[in-house]
Amino acid sequence: MAAGEEDNKPATRSSIKSHISFNNYPRWKDKLRENCYNRLRADRSRLLWKMRLPDSKDHSLRHEELVKSTFQDIVSDELRKIKGSPMENCSESSDDMLWEYDGLHAAYQGDCEEILLEMQKIFYEDLKSEQIGKELDGFIKLWEDEEDEYLARAVFENMHLNDEKVGKEVWCPICKQGVLQQNRHLIFCSLCELKLNRGDEVTLEFLRDRLAEAHGQHFDSGCRLNPKFCIQSKFDITALYMECQDCNTFEIVI
């Protein structure tokens, strides 16, 4: 064959499957599954808190949609992280070439659906197990009464599970029925005798955040009993305290 004919011969593109990045695809799949399962374990408590919020919709349907949506976000987020982080021994250009391959997109879509179903299965099986079942029973027992719904809302807000405030009212932590109000000098309850002197930076919003933080810290310590609140004056200073006889917690809120 003439040299000119050899020069004009079209170059054949090597198969994407022979590329080193494609051979690392199983590693990506395993890493994606591992990261998603770690997120599932880390975010399970927050998801349970969110499921406890009252809603006018059918609870079983809302919970199913909430779980699926949460897990979809986790899988999508972890997949983006893997795509943005080249694996070991793979150059960035190699990764870009790999992600342009339609076959890999289809493969990952199928694997993501598989991982999503596995996460849902694990989540619901854990809820039925003895240990997680007791934990869920603790949630229900702790927050079942209507007077305690403000606690679930406060912890929910403190965990930042959405960007909007769940409610503007701040319920009284002592009587649990009155709504806290404020004027230029005091924060007070509309039903009981709770009264707190306001400082320059003490507002209802600040008090709500402190209550949420106190409840969150108490729950994270491992205690599942409902803490109590009281007003006490010590050293000529009147303050709101949180106490729990089970774990011997006694600390100032504000």
Q: Is the pLDDT of residue 43 over 60?
A: yes
SS3 54: coil
Element (H, E) at 65: helix 59-84
Confidence at 32, pLDDT banded by 50, 70, 90: confident
The residue that leads in pLDDT, 18 or 4, is: 4
Confidence at 215, pLDDT banded by 50, 70, 90: confident
Write down the mean pLDDT value for the chain.
69
Q: What is the pLDDT of residues 161-206, one digit of tens each?
A: 444 444 567 888 888 888 889 988 899 998 888 888 887 678 888 8
Query: Minimal CA–CA distance to 127: which of 188, 60, 173?
Result: 60
The residue that leads in pLDDT, 143 or 45, is: 45
Residues 6+ apart with CB under 8 A from 161: 46, 49, 50
Distance, CA of 205 to CA of 169 (rounded, Å): 9
Confidence at 14, pLDDT banded by 50, 70, 90: very low
Would you tell me how many other CB atoms lie within 10 Å of the CB of residue 96?
A: 12
Q: Is the pLDDT of residue 145 over 80?
A: no
Which residues on neighbouring strands pair with residue 187, listed in sequence order? Answer: 182, 196
| Residue 223 confidence (pLDDT) | 80
The residue that leads in pLDDT, 217 or 111, is: 217
The residue that leads in pLDDT, 95 or 28, is: 28
Distance, CA of 104 to CA of 96 (rounded, Å): 12
Q: Is the pLDDT of residue 71 over 80?
A: yes
How are beta strands 237-244 and 186-189 bridged, if at all? unpaired
Instruction: Please give the backbone phi and psi of residue 222, each rounded to the nearest 5 degrees, phi first.
Output: 105, -10
Instruction: Please give the backbone phi and psi of residue 230, each rounded to the nearest 5 degrees, phi first.
Output: -155, 160
